[in-house]
Amino acid sequence: MFELALAVKNGDRGSRDDVDLKELSETLMDGALVIVGCVVAAVVLCLVVRAFDLRWTWAFSPLPAAAFLFGFSPTLGIAAGACLVGAGALGFVRQRQDIERGGTEAQAARERPGPLGYLRGAIERRRWRRERVRGGRLALGQGPNGSVHTVPFGERQGTRAFIIGAPGSGKTVTLATHAVAYVDWGYPVISVDPKGDRDYCDQLRSAAERAGRPFYVWTPDGPAAYNPLGRGTPSEIADKALAGEVWTEPHYLRQAQRYLGLELQALRAVGEWPPTLRSISSHLNPERFDALIDRVEGELGKRLRDYLGGLSQRSRAELGGVRDRLAVLEESELGRWLEPRHDGTDIDLAAALAENAVVYFQLDADRFPLASQMVGASIVVDLVSLTGQLQGRAMPGLVIVDEFAAVAAEEISRLLSRSRSAGLSVLLATQAFADLSLARPGDSSESLRGQVLSHVDYLVAHRQSEPEAAELLGQMAGTKPAWSLAERVGTDKGPIWELKRDGTKRRTREFVRHPDEFKSLGTGRAIVIEPASPRLAERVQVWPA
């Protein structure tokens, strides 16, 4: 009886122990599952934050939601909180590793925006989006941490900027952002577009309409006319007429310049002024040239007759090339749009600047390469002579020349140097530095590049396809102090875990913007370098106009 009672008692305890053990193992199992789930979730969250290029502190932003969850289910709340803290900690460690690696990875790590910076940036962005120009600065776009990036706006002294980027990288959109801001501010804008970008033209047109200002457009198909040879001194006009011609010998160029220059002096002396492409090319005919010179009196007439008398038959024949070229241009389908019509539709740059107009020249350089160079060069030379006539007065406004190396390479440095005193802003764009070398063949000193870069107040570099360009731009963006970590691993034979590691930390300098960064910029992104500013070169997502 007693034995039976004991057996029953023992059996009871055995089953209760079994129950306790089962409960314990279930609890442990649940706990382990929660911990594994938390670790996995933390790793995934950390990866998601990095994939969106955000700072590790973003992992903490849902903590208030975890606290709210705690009110309903403490276990879930604690698990969610632990997962967020874990993700943050993991992100912090990865960020430290990125920074220690240096170079572009460190740069990207430093620039990842945190939630507070982003909020501050959002407020700033709202303000700048409403008012794109403030305090002499123009909001160009936003930096990687959400802050607004501004560039100098040519309010008083004008600014000079250079935009460079591979095809399709976003140059024209950046030009449009500038152009619309200047129009909105009330300044005239003259834009030369050798490619004829329809969207860009439409943006300029609507900006002008919005501001209630005149909009003039010149295209090789009309209907407005622009006389590229109507302004300037005889030698300036001769240079414009010869722009774009390739000379095998400098001697031919000088001969043609002299011949044209003298013809223009004769035209001015007899009152056929301002000249046009038609009047110049028709007087290049030898009989008409002789007849023109006969009408010129005095010292000039004598000089012209001496010159003509001294010209050999061979020289006259060589000059036939100039005559033919101008005649071909004048007789081409666009020739009529280069002849003034005096019916009120002619484009006059001085008048356009005076009435704060917006002028768009669509050159179509693929169809008319020579004419494009002549018109492009003429616009730039006209602006140079207009700035010369100001005599200290300011001429605020913006001149934009897209693909400038192809249409006005030689004339641009004069405009850059003159524009400062005239208060005119100049914005130049090109696809590659190689275009600047091509524009001055045989010039190994890269003088055009040097002239342009020495004048610019800021440079907007979109994606680069040339490694040398990326290298040069990286150097222009400068360097900054950094730590470099050199680690030496011992070679003593022994198990791998016993390898000796010695680390030395050295102070060095690294690129503010590594050349590789210039090669991998996405469309619409650019690195903005402002040499005279204490602000370091920054990666910017340009805001379209």
Ligand X SMILES: Nc1ncnc2c1ncn2[C@@H]1O[C@H](COP(=O)(O)OP(=O)(O)OP(=O)(O)O)[C@@H](O)[C@H]1O
Q: How far apart are CA 53 and CA 251, in angstroms?
A: 60
172 touches Mg ion by CB under 5 A = yes
Partner from Mg ion, ligand X, none contacting 170, C-beta within 5 to 8 A by type: ligand X
Nearest CA-CA partner of 115 in 155, 79, 84, 73: 84
Closest separation in Å from C-beta 515 to ligand X: 20
Strands (E), 253-334: none
Partner from ligand X, Mg ion, none contacting 159, C-beta within 5 to 8 A by type: none
The three-class DSSP label of residue 148 is strand
> What are the residues facing 149 on neighbouring strands?
141
Chain-centre distance of CA 247, in angstroms? 32
* Residue type, position 439, single letter: A
Closest separation in Å from C-beta 319 to ligand X: 38
Q: How far apart are CA 157 and CA 424, in angstroms?
A: 7
Residue 223 token pair: 């209907």
Q: Which is nearer to Mg ion, 171 or 178 (CB)?
A: 171
Partner from ligand X, Mg ion, none contacting 167, C-beta within 5 to 8 A by type: ligand X
Q: Which is nearer to ligand X, 13 or 198 (CB)?
A: 198
Rg value, the chain, Cα: 35
484 contacts: CB under 8 Å, gap ≥ 6: 102, 505, 506, 507, 508, 510
Q: How far apart are CA 3 and CA 10, in angstroms?
A: 10
Site string for Mg ion, 121-160 (x = CB under 5 A): ----------------------------------------
Closest separation in Å from C-beta 400 to Mg ion: 11
Q: Which is nearer to Mg ion, 172 or 177 (CB)?
A: 172
The DSSP symbol for 381 reads H
439 contacts: CB under 8 Å, gap ≥ 6: 405, 406, 409, 410, 448
541 touches Mg ion by CB under 5 A = no
The DSSP symbol for 537 reads P
Q: How far apart are CA 453 and CA 20, in angstroms?
A: 81
Partner from ligand X, Mg ion, none contacting 432, C-beta within 5 to 8 A by type: none
Q: Which is nearer to ligand X, 37 or 168 (CB)?
A: 168
Q: Which is nearer to ligand X, 205 or 258 (CB)?
A: 205
Q: Which is nearer to ligand X, 196 or 220 (CB)?
A: 196
Q: How far apart are CA 445 and CA 450, in angstroms?
A: 9
Q: How far apart are CA 82 and CA 88, in angstroms?
A: 10
Total residues binding Mg ion (CB under 5 A): 2
Q: Which is nearer to ligand X, 383 or 460 (CB)?
A: 460
Partner from ligand X, Mg ion, none contacting 515, C-beta within 5 to 8 A by type: none
Closest separation in Å from C-beta 517 to ligand X: 17
Q: Which is nearer to ligand X, 171 or 539 (CB)?
A: 171
Stretch that binds Mg ion, among 85-93, 113-121, 170-178, 305-313 (CB under 5 A): 170-178
* Residue type, position 10, single letter: N
Write the CA distances from 306 to 95, 254, 281, 311, integer angstroms: 81, 18, 22, 9
Give the CA angle between residues 364, 367, 370 to the nearest 5°. 85
Q: How far apart are CA 134 and CA 148, in angstroms?
A: 12
Partner from Mg ion, ligand X, none contacting 205, C-beta within 5 to 8 A by type: none
Closest separation in Å from C-beta 175 to ligand X: 8
Partner from ligand X, Mg ion, none contacting 413, C-beta within 5 to 8 A by type: none
Q: Which is nearer to ligand X, 136 or 168 (CB)?
A: 168
> Which region holds residue 95: left if phi is over 0, alpha if psi is between -120 and 50, else beta?
alpha
Q: Which is nearer to ligand X, 359 or 461 (CB)?
A: 461
Closest separation in Å from C-beta 176 to Mg ion: 10
Are 122 and 105 within 8 A, CB to CB?
no
Q: Which is nearer to Mg ion, 95 or 191 (CB)?
A: 191
Closest separation in Å from C-beta 452 to ligand X: 18
Stretch that binds Mg ion, among 35-43, 136-144, 156-164, 166-174 (CB under 5 A): 166-174
> What are the residues facing 193 on neighbouring strands?
362
Q: How far apart are CA 255 and CA 258, in angstroms?
A: 5
- Whose CB is nearest to ligand X? 524
Closest separation in Å from C-beta 173 to ligand X: 3
Closest separation in Å from C-beta 352 to Mg ion: 23
Closest separation in Å from C-beta 401 to Mg ion: 12
Residues within the interface to ligand X (CB under 6 A):
165, 167-173, 195, 431, 523-524, 542, 544
Neighbours of 520 (CB within 10 A): 12
Closest separation in Å from C-beta 366 to ligand X: 12
- Whose CB is nearest to Mg ion? 172
Q: How far apart are CA 66 and CA 82, in angstroms?
A: 9
191 touches Mg ion by CB under 5 A = no
174 touches Mg ion by CB under 5 A = no
> Which residues contribute to the site for Mg ion (CB under 5 A)?
171-172
